[in-house]
Amino acid sequence: MSAEQSGKSKRFTGTPVTMIRWQEVKPIGQQGEIMTDHRIPRRHTKRPTPSEGITRHPNLVFLLPALCLWALILTASPAVAADVAILKSADVAYYQQAIQAFRESLPSNTTVTEYNLAGNLERGREIARSLRAAPPALVFSVGLKGALAAKLELVDTPVVFCLVLNPESHGLPTPNMTGIQMRVPPATQLASIQTLAPHARRIGLIYDSIESGTMVVDAERSARKLGVQLVAVPIKNQSDLPGALGKLLPTVDLFWLLQDPTIVTGDSVDFLIKATLDAKVPLFGFSPTLVQQGAVGALVVNARDIGRQAGDLATTILRGSVPPQHQLQDPAHPQLALNLKSTEYFGLGPSKEVLRLATLLYGGPGAVVERDTMKDLIP
């Protein structure tokens, strides 16, 4: 407390003992009130009862709740090392990037044990069952199989999961689970599409209602708010894709490729890219690989960003906070990727503002770039 702050001393409000008087003086250092004159003779000293002490010092009434609050905060903070178990669905680089960022985001006194399911759900369930004997403070599941193993075997342990596509279709999350969505919200994606292609008034997409039905409903609602028309065509299996795409492309200004496992496979990507190029309909996707292959743009979820976000969420839980049940966090930092060759081919010509917003830029003037890798299409 500075001298200026402590300048207004408060007069003692209790009943003074004989031979003591209190006077207002200018504070010195940290003192606010100074007792002067004679010492108190022992025969005049009276030990106050607890109630009298509080009455004589009314500020204690306000100080005690504050001390209790700090005690609760200190108790909630992890004073000892917390144990965290990681269930990794498979040994995939995409998963490992998320795990590394997750580890870096945890408190330094956290002990982390990593288990590799090697793509086997039954192995994951066995590992999860073995954790029951001495449950960790938290489980971090990466990928679908890890999340399912935790769902089926760990019903009382806090679980954070990520990199699971369409978690709702797999009964995720359960009451003890939370996590980070893999998809960027439809409203955010549509806003990016409108920024990149402002003249696209009819946006087409093809989807599997089981895999992406909920997202499409949200997308239709968001499209109406933005004043654009969403032309959504449902299919039940991949064999319906060529016919549906052939009918859709002549009727729309842009094709929006969703992260739908029925639509996007290793066999369908080349077909989708070629069909949209031939029809001169720009394609907006969800991965850098699609952009490298010819999509005009994509809103990309970076694995490290997701892992870091999951680590922050886990740290909050370890410190005693309880996240809302059945709610997942949206990706906090999606990245805009652009293919400059494709934007020129389709006559879009992104503005300086769009180029400034783009985190990933590919190509330059000329023909559409060649494909690089499929690794980030189906994590």
Q: Where in the chain is the domain with CATH 3.40.50.2300?
A: 83-183+306-318, 186-302+334-362
83-183+306-318 fold: Rossmann fold (3.40.50)
pLDDT in tens, 99-111: 999 999 999 999 9
Pick the closest to residue 309 from 326, 330, 325 (CA basis). 330
Does residue 33 register a pLDDT over 50? Answer: no
Question: Cα-flanking dihedrals φ and ψ of residue 211, to 5°?
Answer: -80, -35
Q: Which tops the pLDDT comparison, 51 or 73?
A: 51
User: Does position 205 have pLDDT exceeding 90, yes or no?
Assistant: yes
- Residue 73 corresponds to which tokens in the numbers above? 């905060």
Confidence class for position 305, pLDDT limits 50, 70, 90: very high
What percent of the chain is modeled with pLDDT above 90?
68
Look at the pTM and tell me if it is higher than 0.95: no
| 346 three-class SS | coil
Question: Is the pLDDT reported for residue 261 higher than 90?
Answer: yes
Q: How far is CA 86 from CA 19, 189, 305, in A?
A: 70, 31, 17
The average pLDDT across 132-146 equals 96
| pLDDT reading at 43 higher than 50 | no
Give the strand pairing for 34-36 and 21-23: antiparallel
Tell me the two tokens of residue 266: 């290793």
Phi and psi angles of residue 203, each rounded to the nearest 5 degrees, phi first: -110, 125
- 337 within 8 A of 362, measured Cβ to Cβ: yes
Q: What's the pLDDT tens digit per position in 152-177?
A: 999 999 999 999 998 988 999 999 99
Class of 186-302+334-362 in CATH? alpha beta
